[in-house]
Amino acid sequence: MNINYELYFYIMVSNKPYVWRIEEFRIGGFIKDYEDGEWFSFEIQRKDRDLKKGLKKLNPRIQKVKNKEYNYFRAPSFKGTIIRAIYLNKESEEGLYKDEENNLPYEIRSIGDELLYRQSIAETKKEIFNRLERLAVAEGLRNTN
């Protein structure tokens, strides 16, 4: 029996199950102001390359994140800290939801990949994503067809 090992290896590797991943929107910014342990505000600074990823506008905006019961919160070390805000869908990144809580990013990390904020420690990333998708359809931000 003659086995082509290269073909056998290719078939075995290519038949892995598909892993479902959520597309994230990573936007840069910096810390504007903060009160230690209570809240911090950050300004989003979009770049031209963000337009290539499907975003519509380049409007800089300021968002405020507060320390609440079921989120991870760690105050930044100083003003001007460069951050990366991670949003789960376009609508929350562009700030289109009526409720400001839904427009907040899923995570905020400092440039050294230190976690400063996570939207919820009780809900999983997939649950938050599904909730935002249902809200986008319910508020008429996205067409179901």
**Does residue 118 fall inside a structural domain?**
yes
pLDDT in tens, 53-109: 556 665 678 999 999 988 999 888 888 899 999 999 888 888 889 998 899 999 999
Count how many domains the chain has: 1
**Does residue 10 fall inside a structural domain?**
no
Read off the pTM.
0.77
Look over the chain and give the mean of its residue pLDDT values, rounded to a whole number. 81
- Confidence class for position 30, pLDDT limits 50, 70, 90: very high
**Does residue 55 fall inside a structural domain?**
yes
**Does residue 132 fall inside a structural domain?**
yes
Predicted local distance difference test score (pLDDT) of residue 75: 83
Closest CA to 58 of 99, 31, 29, 33: 29
pLDDT in tens, 111-125: 888 999 999 999 999
Query: DSSP readout, 37-102?
Result: TTEEEEEE---HHHHHTT------EEEEEE--TTSEE---SSTT-EEEEEESSHHHHHT-SSSGGG
Domain of residue 56, residue span: 21-138
**Does residue 104 fall inside a structural domain?**
yes
